[in-house]
Structure 1
Amino acid sequence: MSWAARLQKPMRVAINRNMTSATAHKIVGDRIRKERDDLIQSGAASAQYVRRVDGTLGLPEEAAKLNGGNVTYIFNTIGAATVWALAELRKRSPAHSGAFRKSWAVLVDGKGWTDAPGKIPMGAEVWIVNTMPYARKIEVGGQRISVPPGIVEGVRRPLMSRFKRIRAQRAFKPLQGGRDARGEPVPYILRGAGIASGISWDKKAKEWTQKHAAYVSRRADRQAGEQMLYPTLILTEK
């Protein structure tokens, strides 16, 4: 049984008719808290949550009606989603030198996050971005690599299926400050105009093909002196 099913399952607790109302409510509250704590200790649910009792936020479990009462826990899924996404992004990354795999960084509300991803607070906006200068080429398929391109997009779709309360989108974002895994400054400034390589990944054949001859890009954001826009997975709570 999933943790969601366990939490949604009606709870029946035997109450002695000679008990005071306060005692009966405490027994019910203790039982609910045990179910919650067992889930947290098993790792199935986050230790960060908000509680709603009979529709009101913040009331203690004992305040729930004994007949037909409802206690709802809204667990922090943004941290769990970030942990899962990071693992998937790294797993899908090319590992020739290991630099690209090591360069996935987490930003929370626009600032670098150095604590454990699972501790990201509820309500935060999370960016997971690869800081290597060739990250955009790898994402859009402009460079032959040992794995299929579209790494961020490949993680975005299954993440939203797995974490129903998380909204995930792919974007290409500017970054300011920091160093990549090789110690080079971020952002990377284009030294010349970008090249449209014409390389394409054939999903059906699972191989690289050449769709057209390479040519110099005329896009304004791909010209010399412009900073690279980094492929970014953006996570927010629904």
Structure 2
Amino acid sequence: MSFGDILRQQITLNTRQTLSSQELHEMVAQQCRQNRDAVIASGQVPQFYTTTVDGRRGAAEETARLMGGTIIYQFSSLAQAANWALAECKKRSPVASGNFRASWVLLVNGVVWPDLDDIPTDAEVWITNLTPYARKVEVGGMQIRVPPGIVEAVRQSVQRRFVGISAAKQFKPLGSGTRDHRGNPVPYILKRAGVASGLSYDKKSKSWGRKHAAYASPRLDRQAGEQMLYPTLILTQKRQ
């Protein structure tokens, strides 16, 4: 017997004993939530989901029609992976003033997303850091207290941990109108040519060295007046 059949039987048995329309709505809603929470607790589905009631996304279960109504919970591995990845980026961040750790953001289809539980399963999720030195931290262009390559390390972890999620790293331009935790405008516009620092981090010894002397980058996208490209973790849900 399917999960849906069991739920319908339970609701039918309960509603026969109730006369009030309001009580019926509340009973149906509570039964749906209990079954939802039970399947989450069992580990069969992720803890992140969206609710659609009679075709209305985000509506309360109590508003479902009693005759022919539908309550759909769509469980999202993408939301679960995105929340974990964002927390992991913060966890791996260097902490001095706290600005870098506080400047991680999550975007859904290019828009800063406030409700991390309510991420559409067909979305493209970006996780990036808005500070002007985010690129230097990622590529090892400045000495910090933790290993560089935070985005890449989290990308690899996501690939191992979430088999249904595709994770990629790219250096992306960001739209205007956003600011980092200190209030610096985004995107950051390079004041001079980017510098190839020559710095190198040795994972075995956990120390910094230098491969070559620093020099101004000849790359066209690293010249004065160009906007910085931000190291970005890109997450999508794999198609079944």
Q: How high is the TM-score relative to the length of structure 1? A: 0.74
Aligned positions of 1:185-196 closer than 5 A: 185-196=185-196
Q: Does 1:153 align with 2:152?
A: yes
Matches of 2:141 and 2:5 in 1, distance apart?
Answer: 62
Say which SS state the counterpart of residue 107 (structure 1) adopts: strand
Matches of 2:129 and 2:149 in 1, distance apart?
Answer: 12
Q: Does 1:162 align with 2:161?
A: yes
Q: Which amino acid in the other structure matches residue 117 of structure 2?
A: G
The question of whether the paired residues in 2 share the 8 Å contact of 1:40 and 1:47 is answered with no
TM-fit CA distance, 1:77: 0.8
Q: Does 1:100 align with 2:105?
A: no
Which residue is equivalent to 1:199?
199
Matches of 2:91 and 2:5 in 1, distance apart?
Answer: 47
Count of aligned pairs between the two proteins: 193
Matches of 1:215 and 1:235 in 2, distance apart?
Answer: 34
Matches of 1:80 and 1:125 in 2, distance apart?
Answer: 14
| C-alpha distance 26-204 of structure 1, shift in aligned 2 (>3 A) | closer
Which residue is equivalent to 1:183?
183
Aligned positions of 1:1-238 closer than 5 A: 26-27=5-6, 37-40=37-40, 44-48=46-50, 75-115=75-115, 117-177=116-176, 178-238=178-238
TM-fit CA distance, 1:132: 0.3
Matches of 1:236 and 1:49 in 2, distance apart?
Answer: 20
Matches of 1:230 and 1:87 in 2, distance apart?
Answer: 18
Q: Which amino acid in the other structure matches residue 182 of structure 1?
A: R
| C-alpha distance 191-26 of structure 1, shift in aligned 2 (>3 A) | closer
User: Residue by residue, what CA displacement relative to the aligned partner does 1:175-201 show, whole Å, maximum 9, x if unpaired?
Assistant: 111111110111100000111110011
The question of whether the paired residues in 2 share the 8 Å contact of 1:140 and 1:150 is answered with yes
TM-fit CA distance, 1:40: 2.7
The question of whether the paired residues in 2 share the 8 Å contact of 1:193 and 1:223 is answered with yes
Q: Which amino acid in the other structure matches residue 197 of structure 1?
A: S
Say which SS state the counterpart of residue 157 (structure 1) adopts: helix
Matches of 2:120 and 2:79 in 1, distance apart?
Answer: 7
Q: Which amino acid in the other structure matches residue 222 of structure 1?
A: R
Say which SS state the counterpart of residue 118 (structure 1) adopts: coil
Say which SS state the counterpart of residue 191 (structure 2) adopts: coil
Matches of 2:215 and 2:5 in 1, distance apart?
Answer: 73
Matches of 1:179 and 1:161 in 2, distance apart?
Answer: 32
| C-alpha distance 49-209 of structure 1, shift in aligned 2 (>3 A) | farther
The question of whether the paired residues in 1 share the 8 Å contact of 2:49 and 2:117 is answered with no
Matches of 1:173 and 1:147 in 2, distance apart?
Answer: 23
Matches of 2:164 and 2:107 in 1, distance apart?
Answer: 20
Q: How high is the TM-score relative to the length of structure 2? A: 0.73
Say which SS state the counterpart of residue 128 (structure 2) adopts: strand
The question of whether the paired residues in 2 share the 8 Å contact of 1:39 and 1:45 is answered with no
Q: CA RMSD in A?
A: 2.6
Q: Which amino acid in the other structure matches residue 141 of structure 1?
A: G
User: Residue by residue, what CA displacement relative to the aligned partner does 1:38-84 show, whole Å, maximum 9, x if unpaired?
Assistant: 0336785333489xxxxxxxxxxxxxxxxxxxxxx973111111110
TM-fit CA distance, 1:160: 1.4
User: Residue by residue, what CA displacement relative to the aligned partner does 1:199-225 show, whole Å, maximum 9, x if unpaired?
Assistant: 011122221111111111111111100
Say which SS state the counterpart of residue 234 (structure 1) adopts: strand
Matches of 1:188 and 1:221 in 2, distance apart?
Answer: 13
